[in-house]
């Protein structure tokens, strides 16, 4: 197949295929307007793949089926499901549950993505594989997210993914595939357009007619082929009868409509039936046709007109034929074909298709059809199809004759939409539900949903009042949900900043008592409310009980969303054991259950913890993994860990990242926690470089946050910066606050930081006792970063006291620890101090991992611990073949030939 004027596009497709043959997987998203040639490029890819020996599997998005959860994914994977046994058991179960083959707990959508990735990888191991997805703008949301996840994780599987998307004014159509390699298909150049037109019209065209066709087609190949084909002979000869000046896609659809209207009535009805049934299954089509009394011979005129092909499957010549036929039909005819399709689908094996088509066949309202849709929503939800559940419930609401039931179903649809990340649609459904009638409990839940949807959209301060109103309304109706709503409000207030958290905390004191034994979430609410209203000292005991309850929670499943909050709060108490245990548990549970939507947040807290324990390289691995997963699943990025790393490393790249983040606050509303972390990181960086004035300014801003964790860690930075910048009053105030918090918490981490800070503001020989106490206490816990910096400031103090030999001992230790950590700016500060004593610091010894990327270091460490390739692949959400490809690079860079040698390097 040669495509006129598409040499560059054809070469891009060829590269994708040859790279896959060579073991370099890739994805390509083809964008363009309707009729521009995307489908032709996909057909070229299919033909060329067959020539090169690639297996080809495909799926097509259909507008009328865009609400069926994972429907398009099932279409793609259906021929491959015989190989499910090759996957790890959790992934097998996830796919079988998702596709309705067995019952089970709702699988995380991105565990489904990992299962699909590995399924495709296993098949590509036997034969290189091309997966084609046409009209992806009409994929159901779940399928789009899973396929985009797979496209972002392919690397070395001999696998190619080719996706076509119609350009749209609705960015939501393109969001899932954003960031993937793109191929923009534009209109043909005039010379190519004339060549294509000449090939399409065997007779000689009048120059004026040809010019007009070229002008109106605007380089759109389908328009060039269809306009002359649809025009009457007189129009071609004289120019009369050609279409008016409307948009090309609409013009093309109108031409397809005209061609279908010229067909016999029975053929038109068969075309409409095929357009309404998206699966392309010929057996289903003929069963429905028999219900309508349509003879198989009715297909012949449509096939002769080049609109439809029916074999074992049903295929339209172009996706625009399907939409043109459906849009041109009358409502009575649509209801007829949907009713026939409802009969054609088996109520046991295809209950959702049956329910959907039955609903589309209804005129007016129908409680039985609405109830069947509601049951379909439950099945969709069980398969991780929140968007589909919402669509079923929305349709059920419209079909419900009873106003109260209608409002309840609209409310349930809004909840599903909000949970699926579509807050705008949720708000529209809430307006329907609000018409009512609703009971008190439903009205309170409506308030809560509205507040959460508005928070997702705007994060404005008005949300706090909305959440508090919902919490108060829920108090007598659902005490447990009321308390959770107060906790939502505290989280929201912390994220938005502006001091609203104290108002929320005061209101939370009036929350109803727990309906049973207090859960970890109940204890968290009480602890935070007490801390914000009565102060740090009063809140510590309650917070400690809450965090210990989270730590001791015996449930071995990821069922408590508040573990994210608890793991962040450990640093408030200066409890290094709690911080480490909760953060590690959060990551472990998210990994084990495949909860990719929660894993980036868990990795964020764990990586921040590792920075404080002095494991900057490991922290960078987890931060990079969290960023990659967030990008793969289309989640909002969480840059706090990268900012913290930037501050502690103190290099120019880190400084640029912090500056860029703070610059963004002037043009967009960032989460308050991101802004506070950027200021904290800037304070650490300036302290590392000895720029104490800017460090003090940044640390003071970080301390002003409502986020208690960042407020805590900012205090030592204020003390160091203020004591060195000649601002003893501010240093003294920060020391006193830190000492109060340390005494209240009672842990060696806090008491050690307090002693170090007291030493910095103490003049003369009295400082030494505090420095030694700080080293003694900080040496007992895991937060090595602070211990290393204490050696540094103690060494600096000893040098100023003229005690060179003792200063060298402290500075050597500081330089070694800080160098090994990767805190380069602090290490250079220690080296400068050593030179001032007359000694040069040792140069850093080259490490085996220096030659590796952050991602390769993570893989190497896991393999060195004895993890198998499959185990590493499962943990990092990659395919085993990709892990093996990385291992080959790792072995080459490190000069080793086996896993045993890798283990011996002690990475």
Q: For 275-290, how does the pLDDT look when each residue is reduced to its tens digit (9 = 90+)?
A: 888 667 888 899 999 9
Angstrom distances, CA of residue 597 to CA of 94, 112, 145, 743, 897: 15, 12, 11, 38, 37
Cα–Cα distance for residue pair 641/612, rounded to 1 Å: 11
Total residue length of the chain:
907
Q: What is the pLDDT of residue 238?
A: 41
Q: What's the maximum distance between 2 C-alpha atoms anywhere in the chain?
A: 107
Give the best-scoring range by mean pLDDT among 11-15, 314-318, 844-848. 11-15
CA angle at residue 143 from 88 to 362, to 5 degrees?
A: 125
Cα–Cα distance for residue pair 869/201, rounded to 1 Å: 58
Choice among 448-457, 590-599, 852-861 with the minimum mean pLDDT = 590-599
Pair of tokens at residue 691:
């720029």
Q: What is the pLDDT of residue 632?
A: 66
Cα–Cα distance for residue pair 554/568, rounded to 1 Å: 20
pLDDT bracket for residue 718 (50, 70, 90): very high
**What residues have CB less than 8 Å from 304, skipping those under 6 apart?**
none
Q: What is the pLDDT of residue 257?
A: 76
pLDDT bracket for residue 216 (50, 70, 90): low
pLDDT bracket for residue 833 (50, 70, 90): very high
Pair of tokens at residue 322:
């399907």
Angstrom distances, CA of residue 409 to CA of 340, 351, 398, 430, 601: 26, 19, 9, 10, 32
312 burial via Cβ count (<10 Å: 0-12, 13-18, 19+): exposed
Q: What is the pLDDT of residue 384?
A: 56
Residue 46 contacts residue 56 (beta carbons within 8 Å): yes
Pair of tokens at residue 408:
């309840």
Q: Which CATH superfamily is domain 7-184 in?
A: P-loop containing nucleotide triphosphate hydrolases (3.40.50.300)
Closest CA to 146 of 316, 457, 387, 412: 387
Pair of tokens at residue 631:
């990008």
Q: What is the pLDDT of residue 844?
A: 64
Q: What is the pLDDT of residue 845?
A: 67
**What is the CATH number assigned to the segment(s) 849-904?**
1.10.10.10
Q: What is the pLDDT of residue 846?
A: 62
Name the residue ranges covered by the structural domains of the chain.
7-184, 190-245, 259-344, 647-727, 746-845, 849-904
Rounded to the nearest 5°, which phi and psi values hold at 302? -70, -40
Cα–Cα distance for residue pair 559/231, rounded to 1 Å: 63
Closest CA to 414 of 396, 399, 394: 394
CA 233 distance to own-chain centroid: 54
Q: Looking at per-residue confidence, does 58 or 842 come out higher? A: 58
Closest CA to 98 of 130, 70, 123: 70
Rounded to the nearest 5°, which phi and psi values hold at 165? -135, 135
CATH class as words, domain 746-845: mainly alpha
Cα–Cα distance for residue pair 487/73, rounded to 1 Å: 37
pLDDT tens, residue by residue, 618-658? 899 888 888 877 776 666 778 889 999 999 999 888 899 99
Closest CA to 851 of 774, 784, 905, 776: 905
Residue 317 contacts residue 303 (beta carbons within 8 Å): no
pLDDT of 170 above 60: no
Mean pLDDT across the stretch 183-190? 88
Mean pLDDT across the stretch 199-228? 70
pLDDT of 328 above 90: no
SS3 for 577? helix
Cα–Cα distance for residue pair 539/704, rounded to 1 Å: 18
Q: What is the pLDDT of residue 645?
A: 94
Closest CA to 62 of 148, 131, 136: 136
Closest CA to 281 of 442, 573, 79, 439: 79
pLDDT tens, residue by residue, 15-24? 999 999 988 8
Q: Cite the beta strand spans of 78-186 per DSSP E.
A: 129-134, 159-166, 182-184
How many CB atoms neighbour CB 880 within 10 A? Answer: 20
DSSP 765: T
For residues 194, 195, 201, 202, the Cα torsion angle rounded to the nearest 10 degrees is 130
Q: Is residue 57 within a helix (H) or strand (E), and if so which, with residue range?
A: strand 55-60
pLDDT tens, residue by residue, 236-271? 444 433 444 434 556 667 777 777 888 889 998 998
The strand pairing partners of 132, in sequence order, are 58, 162
Mean pLDDT across the stretch 858-876? 82
106 burial via Cβ count (<10 Å: 0-12, 13-18, 19+): middle
pLDDT of 557 above 60: no
Mean pLDDT across the stretch 770-789? 91
**What residues have CB less than 8 Å from 15, skipping those under 6 apart?**
none
Cα–Cα distance for residue pair 695/680, rounded to 1 Å: 9
Question: What is the residue whose two structure tokens read 């500075």?
Answer: 811
Mean pLDDT across the stretch 388-406? 86
Helices (H), 572-704: 576-592, 599-612, 616-633, 640-649, 652-664, 672-689, 692-703
**What residues have CB less than 8 Å from 481, skipping those under 6 apart?**
445, 448, 474
pLDDT of 325 above 80: yes
Pair of tokens at residue 143:
């399928």
Cα–Cα distance for residue pair 149/606, rounded to 1 Å: 23
Q: Is residue 302 within a helix (H) or strand (E), and if so which, with residue range?
A: helix 299-304
Cα–Cα distance for residue pair 227/246, rounded to 1 Å: 13
Residue 337 contacts residue 370 (beta carbons within 8 Å): no
**What residues have CB less than 8 Å from 531, skipping those under 6 apart?**
505, 538, 539, 540, 542, 543, 572, 708
Pair of tokens at residue 64:
């009328």
**What residues have CB less than 8 Å from 384, skipping those under 6 apart?**
69, 70, 98, 106, 107, 108, 109, 112, 142
pLDDT bracket for residue 218 (50, 70, 90): confident
563 burial via Cβ count (<10 Å: 0-12, 13-18, 19+): buried
Cα–Cα distance for residue pair 150/159, rounded to 1 Å: 10
pLDDT bracket for residue 715 (50, 70, 90): very high
Rounded to the nearest 5°, which phi and psi values hold at 469? -60, -40
The strand pairing partners of 163, in sequence order, are 29, 133
Choice among 32-36, 411-415, 612-616 with the minimum mean pLDDT = 32-36
Angstrom distances, CA of residue 892 to CA of 602, 851, 902: 32, 10, 11
Q: What is the pLDDT of residue 233?
A: 46
Question: What is the residue whose two structure tokens read 């270091």?
Answer: 857
Pair of tokens at residue 577:
């054991």
Q: What is the pLDDT of residue 169?
A: 41
Q: What is the pLDDT of residue 403?
A: 92
Cis peptide before 206 (omega within 30 of 0): no
Closest CA to 133 of 148, 123, 121: 148
Choice among 327-341, 507-521, 550-564 with the minimum mean pLDDT = 550-564
Choice among 152-166, 551-565, 581-595, 796-810 with the minimum mean pLDDT = 551-565
Cα–Cα distance for residue pair 665/320, rounded to 1 Å: 44
Query: Helix crossing, 331-344 with 282-291: angle to 10°?
Result: 120
445 burial via Cβ count (<10 Å: 0-12, 13-18, 19+): buried
pLDDT bracket for residue 350 (50, 70, 90): confident
pLDDT tens, residue by residue, 60-114? 887 766 667 777 888 888 888 888 888 888 888 888 888 877 877 777 777 888 8
Q: Looking at per-residue confidence, does 119 or 599 come out higher? A: 119
How many CB atoms neighbour CB 378 within 10 A? Answer: 11
**What residues have CB less than 8 Å from 895, skipping those under 6 apart?**
none
């Amino acid at each position: 197949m040669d495509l006129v004027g598409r040499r560059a596009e054809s070469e891009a497709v060829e590269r994708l295929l040859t790279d896959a043959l060579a073991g370099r997987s890739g994805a390509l998203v083809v964008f363009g307007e309707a009729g521009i040639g995307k489908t032709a490029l996909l057909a070229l890819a299919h033909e060329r793949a067959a020539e090169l020996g690639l297996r080809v599997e495909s799926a097509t998005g259909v507008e009328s089926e865009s609400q069926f959860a994972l429907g398009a994914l099932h279409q793609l994977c259906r021929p491959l499901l015989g190989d499910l046994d090759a996957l790890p058991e959790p992934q097998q179960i996830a796919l079988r549950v998702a596709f309705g083959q067995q019952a089970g707990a709702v699988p995380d959508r991105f565990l489904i993505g990992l299962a699909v990735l590995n399924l495709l990888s296993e098949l590509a191991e036997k034969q290189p594989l091309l997966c084609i997805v046409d009209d992806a703008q009409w994929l159901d949301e779940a399928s789009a997210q899973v396929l985009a996840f797979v496209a972002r994780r392919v690397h070395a599987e001999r696998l190619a993914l080719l996706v076509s998307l119609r350009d749209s004014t609705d960015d939501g159509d393109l969001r899932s595939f954003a960031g993937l390699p793109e191929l923009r298909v534009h209109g043909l150049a005039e010379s190519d357009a004339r060549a294509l037109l000449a090939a399409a019209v065997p007779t000689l065209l009048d120059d004026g007619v040809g010019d007009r066709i070229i002008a109106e087609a605007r380089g759109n190949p389908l328009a060039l082929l269809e306009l002359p084909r649809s025009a009457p002979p007189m129009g071609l000869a004289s120019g009369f009868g050609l279409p008016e000046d409307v948009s090309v896609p609409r013009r093309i659809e109108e031409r397809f409509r005209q061609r279908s209207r010229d067909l016999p009535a029975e053929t038109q009805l068969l075309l409409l039936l095929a357009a309404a049934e998206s699966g392309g299954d010929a057996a289903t089509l003929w069963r429905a046709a028999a219900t309508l009394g349509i003879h198989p011979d009715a297909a012949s005129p449509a096939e002769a007109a080049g609109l439809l092909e029916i074999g074992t499957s049903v295929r339209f010549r172009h996706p625009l034929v399907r939409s043109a036929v459906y849009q041109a039909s009358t409502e009575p005819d649509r209801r007829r074909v949907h009713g026939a399709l409802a009969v054609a689908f088996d109520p046991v094996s295809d209950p959702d298709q049956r329910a959907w088509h039955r609903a589309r066949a209804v005129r007016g309202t129908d409680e039985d059809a609405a109830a069947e849709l509601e049951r379909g929503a439950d099945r969709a939800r069980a398969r991780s199809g929140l968007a589909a559940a919402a669509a079923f419930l929305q349709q059920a609401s419209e079909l419900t004759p009873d106003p109260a039931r209608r409002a309840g179903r609209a409310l349930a649809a809004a909840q599903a939409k909000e949970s699926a990340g579509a807050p705008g649609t949720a708000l529209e459904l809430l307006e329907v539900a609000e018409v009512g009638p609703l009971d008190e409990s439903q009205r309170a839940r409506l308030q809560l949903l509205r507040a959460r949807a508005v928070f997702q959209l705007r994060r404005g301060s008005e949300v706090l009042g909305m959440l508090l109103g919902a919490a108060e309304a829920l108090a007598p109706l659902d005490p447990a949900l009321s308390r959770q709503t107060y906790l939502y409000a505290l989280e929201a207030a912390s994220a938005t900043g502006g001091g609203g958290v104290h108002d929320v905390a005061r209101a939370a004191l009036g929350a109803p008592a727990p309906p049973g034994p207090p859960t970890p979430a109940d204890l968290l609410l009480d602890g935070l409310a007490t801390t914000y209203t009565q102060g740090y000292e009063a809140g510590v005991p309650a917070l400690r009980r809450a965090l210990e309850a989270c730590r001791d929670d015996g449930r071995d499943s990821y069922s408590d969303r508040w573990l994210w909050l608890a793991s962040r709060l450990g640093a408030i108490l200066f409890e290094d054991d709690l911080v480490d245990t909760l953060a590690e548990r959060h990551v472990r549970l998210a990994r084990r259950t495949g909860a990719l939507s929660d894993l980036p947040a868990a990795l964020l807290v764990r990586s921040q913890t590792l920075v404080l324990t002095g494991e900057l390289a490991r922290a960078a691995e987890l931060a990079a993994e969290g960023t990659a997963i967030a990008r793969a699943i289309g989640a909002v990025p969480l840059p706090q860990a990268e900012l913290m790393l930037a501050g502690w490393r103190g290099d120019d790249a880190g400084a640029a990242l912090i500056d860029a983040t703070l610059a963004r606050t002037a043009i967009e509303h960032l989460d308050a926690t991101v802004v506070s972390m950027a200021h904290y990181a800037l304070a650490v960086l300036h302290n590392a470089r000895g720029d104490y004035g800017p460090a003090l300014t940044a640390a003071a801003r970080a301390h002003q946050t409502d986020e208690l964790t960042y407020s805590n860690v900012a205090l030592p930075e204020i003390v160091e910066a203020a004591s060195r910048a000649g601002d003893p009053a501010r240093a003294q105030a920060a020391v006193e606050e830190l000492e109060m918090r340390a005494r209240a918490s009672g842990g060696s981490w806090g008491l050690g930081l307090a002693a170090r800070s007291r030493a910095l503001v103490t003049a003369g020989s009295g400082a030494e006792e505090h420095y030694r106490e700080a080293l003694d206490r900080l040496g007992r816990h895991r937060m090595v970063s602070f211990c290393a910096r204490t050696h540094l400031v103690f060494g600096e103090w000893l040098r100023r006291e003229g005690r060179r030999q003792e200063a060298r001992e402290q500075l050597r230790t500081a330089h070694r620890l800080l160098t090994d950590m990767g805190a380069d700016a602090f290490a250079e500060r220690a080296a400068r101090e050593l030179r001032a004593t007359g000694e040069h610091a040792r140069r850093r010894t080259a490490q085996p991992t220096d030659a590796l990327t952050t991602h390769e270091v993570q893989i190497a460490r896991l393999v060195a611990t004895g993890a198998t390739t499959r185990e590493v692949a499962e943990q990092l959400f990659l395919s085993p073949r990709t892990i093996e490809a990385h291992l080959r690079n790792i072995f080459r860079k490190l000069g080793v030939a086996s896993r045993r040698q890798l283990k011996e390097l002690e990475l």
